A and B are shown apart, each in its own frame.
Chain A
């Protein structure tokens, strides 16, 4: 049995299409090479002129036409159920944000991995906070774009316990290739227990929640390691060399500097980094939130 309810149909469509294609590829290639061999100038010095043959032409219009319609049908048949979601499907909201996936369960509980119960329909409501992403679970053969401003969805029934890759397939910027997580398929009882244990609301400091919500932590770690850019740990109060309008100067990272970095990131660039990588958060992070971020940064020295 396939990892999801769609695997069988999709794989059948692949088999039909690849099967027919392979037959024709092998057939045509063989005939072509045979002609090249048999009618080479050495073996066949004078060409015979063959008249056009309408019957032949009609045959090789009709047969491919029938075959491609067959392929269309298999593709359609396996796809159409993917758009019809059972009423009792468990709704989970997927939040795509540069470059992390978050899964929100009923009651607002959030998880970075997608945990689903075995043999239960699950509906994923796709929500993007910034640009287009696409949620792809290869083992389940499903994918749908996560488009800002649209309410796209997908659904499936997981049929095999295990852990599967979840990837982003629409290019979404710097760390697109790291926008991946797992989906874990567990028994219903395990699922219930897991959901219960999932913390209701995060008890993390407010500033950190804001950083995570805006995916700042996708590039700036909070433990001193380097992801894309300078870590938040020990950032506040540090001296740094920056390029401003092409000339280098030394600054101390204080409230003002953090504000200007967030609202006008390309004004000062820390030496060794490139312009244009971090976008402005003007309009996304309010002054109030900024204060909370700064308060938090002061605590991780």
Chain B
């Protein structure tokens, strides 16, 4: 009894203890958990806006010919849809949200290494997003270049490209600083006894990601500034009419933007690697192989960028070398899939919503990855490059992969974040709609792409109508799924969550739900013989 009296449980991070209350307390908080949550709310708003823009495009594409609005509107729509989804949703993505919320706890730290820098990164993110979005309302109308800003079109168009490009530039800094923060955190702040090869695998994936953020993002930063300089000062980096080289732009852009794909997908793989052992109650199979394959992907991922440029007129030698390297980077991804599936073998599997989303992820990610093989091979790439096939492929990776992993992660850490549960049945229903809708939306795009439907087309030839209409209906199902999921998670308070609702073994499940401000009452230590994922 006496012990209980002297024991003052620390207030949870959700309780305002500082000098501000309410919104201000959040906006000034350097707590990694609050910052993670703020990223999450911001990202969800952007995601929903992006989805609605996507649906608007599908609506226009329901029939050939002009239905509701003209080509300029369509071109602006796919541009801002791409910018929002890529630069404000999937690139910060799981790292910004769950990297912030969970990673420090998972390695036994009180916070990230530089909490104030972390808050600054968040403000850069908001600022960058605001600048990018302002392009819609200022200057000569919404940019119409696509999120890739290919020169020389991006130099010549009169629309408001500069704001969008500058927004992406600022967002890049947010990403670099987050990466830096995470690298230092993982090097310096792991629990005593937790060697690198005893660190959980989600932090591992963030570690690989962070190096890409730090090393690759500056390249796109300078490239985007070159566009601004060329538009304002007519310098002539990229526009041949000014003496520049448009293919140079593509190299610079993809030197960042291919590795950026791994910035998006590695943390997604990391989350799946946490969820599967937890719900199978089994030590993850091939811990080392998974950890090393993250690094391998990050490393080899640097050397494959020109697979986006097979048709640009590169030398045949460059084409086959990049094709070969592209195939090599496929292998570590395959290894991960094998390891996930094997982790289920002889487990004791509890199919709760996070696990269901993880299964969905594996399936969709496999389709995304395997359809990428014909984009890596030369002859087949030539045929499907820049067609609806590519649209389908990258949606399978960024939405089927990163998106579903994000949904899995929310359902996984939700009890920890809020100290509340959600309704499982509704979560399962939302999964069903999301999964069915997703496949109906994007699978037909593979087919019409192979038939010869180019991407970024406002209008199309009659033979593609049926596929477009299937996609439209898929889009509706998907939308229903998203509404179901969000209302289930955010419309009412569920039952109180226990500290460890799923039987997880990483540190976040050893502390209260929701966690106290400093995470741990007693700082954890890892014994000599302790191993990560030690299910007994």
Q: Are the C-beta atoms of B347 and A57 separated by less than 8 Å?
A: no
Q: B312 touching A145 by the CB < 8 A rule?
A: yes
Partner-binding segment picked from B3-11, B154-162, B209-217: B154-162
Residues of A within 8 A of B241 (CB): 148
Pair B378/A57 contact, Cβ less than 8 Å? no
- Name the contact of A69 in the complex, choosing from B70, B160, B327, B459 (C-beta under 8 A): B327
A277, B72: Cβ atoms closer than 8 Å: yes
B158 touches A279 (CB 8 A): yes
A41–B458 Cα gap in the complex (Å)? 50
The B-contacting residues of A in range 253-301, CB under 8 angstroms, are 265-266, 274-279
- Among B145, B289, B379, B456, max chain A CB count under 10 A is at B379
Among B287, B346, B373, which residue has its beta carbon within 8 angstroms of that of A17? B373
B287 cross-chain contacts in A, Cβ below 8 A: 52
**Closest Cβ neighbor of A265 among chain B residues:** B158
Chain A: minimal CB distance from B47 (Å): 24
Interface string of A176-218 (1 = CB under 8 A from B): 1110100000000000000000000000000000000000000
Q: How far is the CB of A43 from chain B (nearest CB, A)?
A: 9
Are B348 and A74 closer than 8 Å at their CB atoms? no
Q: B309: nearest residue on chain A (CB-CB)?
A: A145
Q: Are B454 and A168 in contact (CB under 8 A)?
A: yes
Nearest residue (CB) in A for B289 is A57
**Max chain B C-beta neighbours (<10 A), residue from A136, A144, A175, A228:** A136
Interface set, chain A 136-150, CB cutoff 8 A to B:
136, 138-139, 141-145, 147-150
Q: Is the CB of B141 within 8 A of A46?
A: no
Q: Are B344 and A39 in contact (CB under 8 A)?
A: yes
What is the chain B residue whose CB lies nearest that of A280?
B158
Question: What's the Cα separation between A65 and B451 when bound, in Å?
Answer: 30
Q: Which residues of A contact B70 (CB under 8 A)?
A: 228
Tell which of B141, B377, B458 touches A75, judged by Cβ atoms closer than 8 Å: B377
Interface string of A25-66 (1 = CB under 8 A from B): 100110110011001110011111110100011001100110
- A45 contacts B348, C-beta separation under 8 Å: yes
* Given A24-B370, A177-B460, CB of A274 within 8 Å of CB of B72: yes
A52 surroundings in chain B (CB, below 8 A): 285-289
The verdict on B359 contacting chain A, using a C-beta distance below 8 Å, is yes
Q: Contact at B370–A25, with CB atoms within 8 Å? A: yes
- Contact mask for chain B residues 297-321; partner A; CB cutoff 8 A; 1 contact, 0 none: 0000000000000011100100110
Residues of A within 8 A of B359 (CB): 32, 36
Interchain CB contact under 8 A, A10 and B313: no
Q: Is the CB of A143 within 8 A of B383?
A: yes
Bound complex: CA of A173 vs CA of B247, how far in Å? 18
Is the CB–CB distance between A173 and B144 below 8 Å?
yes
Interface digits, B370-382 against A, CB 8 Å rule (1 contact, 0 not)?
Answer: 1101101111111
- Is A89 positioned at the interface, with any CB of B under 8 Å from its CB? no
Give the residues in chain B near A131, CB-CB below 8 Å: 152-153, 156
Contact present for B347 and A47 (CB under 8 Å) = yes
CB nearest to B457 among chain A residues: A177
Stretch at the interface among B218-226, B334-342, B420-428: B334-342
Contact, CB under 8 Å: A13 / B153: no
Chain B residue numbers with a CB within 8 Å of A100 are none
Whether a CB of chain B sits under 8 angstroms from the CB of A9 is yes
Judge whether A44 and B346 touch: CB under 8 Å.
yes
Residues of B within 8 A of A47 (CB): 280-282, 346-348, 535
Q: Is there an interface contact between B379 and A152, defined as CB atoms closer than 8 Å?
A: no
CB 8 Å contact bits of B438-471 with A (1 = contact, 0 = none): 0000000000001110111111110000000000
Does the CB pair A32–B362 fall under 8 Å? yes
The answer to the question of B59 belonging to the interface, with a C-beta cut-off of 8 Å to chain A, is no
Determine if B17 is an interface residue (Cβ-Cβ < 8 Å). no
Q: Given the interface contacts A80-B316, A145-B313, does A39 sit within 8 Å of B380 by beta carbon?
A: no
Q: Does B331 reach chain A (CB closer than 8 Å)?
A: yes
Chain B residues with CB below 8 A from A29, complex form: 363, 366
Residue pair B331, A64 in contact (C-beta under 8 Å): yes
Bound form: Cα–Cα A164–B219 in Å:
41
State in angstroms the CA–CA spacing of A275 and B160 once bound together.
10
Q: How far is the CA of A7 from the CA of B145 in the complex (A)?
A: 32
Residues from chain B with a CB closer than 8 A to the CB of A82 are: 379, 382
Q: Does B75 contact A (CB under 8 A)?
A: yes
Q: Are A172 and B153 in contact (CB under 8 A)?
A: yes
Query: What 0/1 readout, one digit per residue, does chain A (1-14) give for beta carbons within 8 Å of chain B?
Result: 00000100110011
Residues of A within 8 A of B152 (CB): 130-132, 148
Q: Are A171 and B377 in contact (CB under 8 A)?
A: no
Q: Are B373 and A68 in contact (CB under 8 A)?
A: yes
The answer to whether B320 touches A177 (Cβ under 8 A) is: no
Residues of B within 8 A of A48 (CB): 282, 346-347
B330-A64 in contact (CB<8A): yes
Chain B residue at minimum C-beta to C-beta distance from A77: B379
A169 to B288, CA, bound (A): 43
State the Cβ distance, B307 to closest chain A Cβ, in Å.
11
CB atoms of A39 and B376 under 8 A apart: no
A49 contacts B282, C-beta separation under 8 Å: yes
Inter-chain contact A35/B141, CB cutoff 8 Å: no
B157 CB contacts on chain A under 8 angstroms: 173, 276, 279
Inter-subunit contact A72/B377 (CB<8 Å): yes
Determine whether the beta carbon of B380 is less than 8 Å from that of A134.
Answer: no
Contact check: which of B240, B335, B337, B454 meets A28 at CB < 8 Å?
B337
Chain B residue with Cβ nearest A18: B374
Instruction: Point out the residues of chain B lying under 8 angstroms from A76, CB to CB.
Output: 320, 323, 377-379
Given A13-B379, A132-B246, A169-B454, A21 and B373 contact (CB-CB distance below 8 Å): yes
* A165 adjacent to chain B (CB < 8 Å): yes
A130 & B328 in contact (Cβ 8 Å cutoff): no
The 8 Å CB contact of B327, one of A14, A72, A142, is A72
A189 to B363 Cα, complex, angstroms: 54
Does residue A170 face the partner (Cβ distance < 8 Å to B)? Answer: yes
Q: Is the CB of A79 within 8 A of B319?
A: yes
Contact A275 B323 (CB under 8 A): no
Cβ-closest chain A residue relative to B244: A149
Residues in chain A near residue B334, CB distance under 8 A: 60, 64
Using CB atoms, name the residue of chain A closest to B382.
Answer: A143
Bound form: Cα–Cα A61–B153 in Å: 43
Q: What residues on A are CB-neighbors of B344 within 8 Å?
A: 32, 35-36, 39
Q: Is A174 an interface residue (CB 8 A)?
A: yes
Q: Which residues of B contact A13 (CB under 8 A)?
A: 374, 377, 379-380
* Other-chain residue from A24, A44, A79 in contact with B382 (beta carbon distance below 8 A): A79
Q: Give the most central of B146, B281, B347: most A CB within 10 Å.
A: B347
Q: Is B55 an interface residue (CB 8 A)?
A: no
How many angstroms between the C-alpha atoms of A150 and B244 in the bound complex? 11
Q: Chain A residue with minimal CB distance to B280?
A: A47
A32 touches B341 (CB 8 A): yes
Please give me the 6 A-B residue pairs with the lowest Cβ-Cβ distance, nearest first. A75-B377, A138-B452, A149-B240, A78-B379, A276-B140, A79-B378
Q: What would 19 A/B residue contacts be, using CB atoms closer than 8 Å? A: A10-B382, A14-B380, A17-B374, A25-B367, A47-B535, A49-B283, A52-B289, A64-B330, A65-B331, A68-B330, A71-B376, A75-B374, A76-B323, A143-B386, A152-B313, A171-B455, A174-B144, A175-B71, A176-B458
Q: What 19 new A-B contacts, CB under 8 Å, besides A52-B286, A279-B158?
A: A21-B373, A25-B367, A32-B363, A49-B535, A52-B288, A61-B335, A64-B335, A75-B379, A76-B320, A78-B379, A80-B378, A83-B316, A139-B452, A143-B311, A147-B312, A174-B72, A175-B71, A228-B71, A277-B72
Q: Which residues of A contact B (CB under 8 A)?
A: 6, 9-10, 13-14, 17-18, 21, 24-25, 28-29, 31-32, 35-36, 39-41, 44-50, 52, 56-57, 60-61, 64-65, 68-69, 71-72, 74-80, 82-83, 130-132, 134, 136, 138-139, 141-145, 147-150, 152, 165, 167-178, 180, 228, 265-266, 274-279
